[in-house]
Amino acid sequence: MTSPAGGHGRASGATAPGGSPPPSFQDMWRDLAPIGRHAGSGGYRRYAWTGADTECREWFREQAEARGLDYETDRNGNQWAWLGDPLAGDAVVTGSHLDSVPDGGAFDGPLGVVSSFAALDELRRRGAEFTRPLAVTNFGDEEGARFGLACVGSRLAAGQLTAEKARLLRDGDGVPLARAMEAAGHDPGAIGPDHERLARVGAFVELHVEQGRALDLSGDPVGVASAIWPHGRWRFDFRGEANHAGTTRLADRRDPMLTYAETVLAARREAALAGGLATFGKVAVEPNGVNAIPSLVRGWLDARAADQATLDAVVDGVERAAREHAERAGTDLDVVRESFTPVVEFQHALRDEIRRVLGKHGPDGSGRTVPVLGTGAGHDAGILSASVPTAMLFVRNPTGISHSPAEHAAEDDCVAGVIALADVLEGLACS
Ligand SMILES: [Zn+2]
């Protein structure tokens, strides 16, 4: 990444009231780039309430201050940077997240936050007159990489996750979320629904790098989201009998690894048959010894589909196959649904308004129709859509790869994203 929107940076005179010029997109990107980056993999390990997360949060606060915005952290650890009166109501809010999956890419999350600050700078450069309060946000613990549940910050705020349940979430080392929060300086006693705050939000717009290749295939730098597919996580516990790998006859084994392996194959088959997606991407084995038949194999199924009936068909099919194989192998199976998000249709009125604004200005000046895309990935915008009108913009990702250092957005497309977001915010928040 060299200089997305960099041409409009320090040299442009886009100063915060009474302050020096705000950091350009390029400056922001450069400052954020080393935080939580693993030297070996080149990927990011910015997990909730860790040192890297704290550094990202500090970066956010600095960006707010550099622009003379009112900074606050809400009771659930989400960060807000306000232009205008936060209490006035009907605010236009834009932002995304700064945490990452294990060895994630640079763009998933940070592109939305950096673009939000850059879009606000762009509006100031245009001399826009704001008629509604505007805020940039960083929602905490979006990826769920550490505690296993995605979008914890927005779920808590929207009342879709109780404080009691959240405090009991544990990371891989058994550390409860409450203790991790406390260690990072946030009061876990304060977490819970924040309806009053969300009631002040009139619209939430999240810009995000696309996590597929639809825009690359259509040849568009920016698209608008139609819906987030229903999706969830299911934990499959396969139990058998631990025994010696060298002395136990094949016929005498109750090997849960075999049942797990058959289930992975079934997931692929069921997803292909139904037209959905199913993935076992995480597995834990006990006792996890090279020369031991496992006693327990715990696999997590991530399943998604364009509609609920298809998703049900995939998950039911995988569970049915798993039970059949378990019976044959003499192993036991428990299936627990750990999280689920129903289909999210983004508000049509807001989406149509965004398409109208972008069609008029056109991120590339052509004024052509902006593509509307569905997505299989969950986002804070999806969680918040139950409480406030929400919309999403996607920026082209030529690799189509996501949750990997290979995810990418070209410099010109990042600029197009910032301009598109500024156009949208101007249409919503300015006279
Ligand atoms: Zn994301």
> How far does the centroid of ligand 1 lie from the alpha carbon of residue 142, in Å?
7
pLDDT in tens, the chain (431 residues): 433 444 333 333 345 555 679 999 999 999 999 999 999 999 999 999 999 999 999 999 999 999 999 999 999 999 999 999 999 999 999 999 999 999 999 999 999 999 999 999 999 999 999 999 999 999 999 999 999 999 999 999 999 999 999 999 999 999 999 999 999 999 999 999 999 999 999 999 999 999 999 999 999 999 999 998 999 999 999 999 999 999 999 999 999 999 999 999 999 999 999 999 999 999 999 999 999 999 999 999 999 999 999 999 999 999 999 999 999 999 999 999 998 988 989 999 999 889 888 886 544 555 567 899 988 888 999 999 999 999 999 999 999 999 999 999 999 999 999 999 999 999 999 97
Decide if 401 contacts 210 (C-beta within 8 A).
Answer: no
> How far does the centroid of ligand 1 lie from the alpha carbon of residue 242, in Å?
39
> How far does the centroid of ligand 1 lie from the alpha carbon of residue 29, in Å?
16
Read off the tokens for 368.
Answer: 């052509």
* Closest C-alpha to 390, from 168, 146, 137, 145: 137
> How far does the centroid of ligand 1 lie from the alpha carbon of residue 108, in Å?
4
Read off the tokens for 398.
Answer: 């030529």
Read off the tokens for 186.
Answer: 């946030």
> How far does the centroid of ligand 1 lie from the alpha carbon of residue 239, in Å?
34
CATH of 6-229+343-429, one of 3.40.630.10, 3.40.640.10, 3.30.2010.10, 3.20.20.70: 3.40.630.10
Helices first, then strands: H and E counts in the chain: 13, 15
The residue ranges of every structural domain in the chain are: 6-229+343-429, 232-341
Q: Going by DSSP bridges, is the β-strand pair 201-209/344-345 parallel, antiparallel, or unpaired?
A: unpaired
Provide the sign of the torsion angle of the four alpha carbons 93, 95, 96, 97, taken in this order. Answer: negative
Same CATH fold assignment for domains 6-229+343-429 and 232-341: no
DSSP codes, 183-222: HTT--GGG-S--HHHHTTEEEEEEEEE-SSSHHHHHT-SE
> How far does the centroid of ligand 1 lie from the alpha carbon of residue 396, in Å?
14
Instruction: Give the C-alpha separation, 43 to 56, whole Å.
Output: 15
Q: Report the chain's mean pLDDT, rounded to a whole number.
A: 92
> How far does the centroid of ligand 1 lie from the alpha carbon of residue 205, in Å?
13
> How far does the centroid of ligand 1 lie from the alpha carbon of residue 230, in Å?
16
> How far does the centroid of ligand 1 lie from the alpha carbon of residue 379, in Å?
6
Q: How far is CA 123 from CA 344, 412, 429, in A?
A: 30, 19, 10
> How far does the centroid of ligand 1 lie from the alpha carbon of residue 329, in Å?
40
CATH class of segment(s) 232-341: alpha beta
* 161: CB partners within 8 A, 6+ apart: 149, 152, 155
Whether this model's pTM surpasses 0.95: no
> How far does the centroid of ligand 1 lie from the alpha carbon of residue 212, in Å?
13
For 11-67, write each residue's pLDDT tens digit.
333 455 556 799 999 999 999 999 999 999 999 999 999 999 999 999 999 999 999
Decide if 146 contacts 180 (C-beta within 8 A).
Answer: yes
- HEC sequence for 358-386: HHHHCCCCCCCCCCEEEECCCCHHHHHCC
Other CB atoms within 10 Å distance of the CB of residue 17? 8
Instruction: Give the C-alpha separation, 203 to 336, whole Å.
Output: 35
Instruction: Give the C-alpha separation, 295 to 410, whole Å.
Output: 48
Decide if 294 contacts 242 (C-beta within 8 A).
Answer: yes
> How far does the centroid of ligand 1 lie from the alpha carbon of residue 160, in Å?
19
> How far does the centroid of ligand 1 lie from the alpha carbon of residue 44, in Å?
13
Ligand 1 (ion): residues with CB under 5 Å are: 108-109
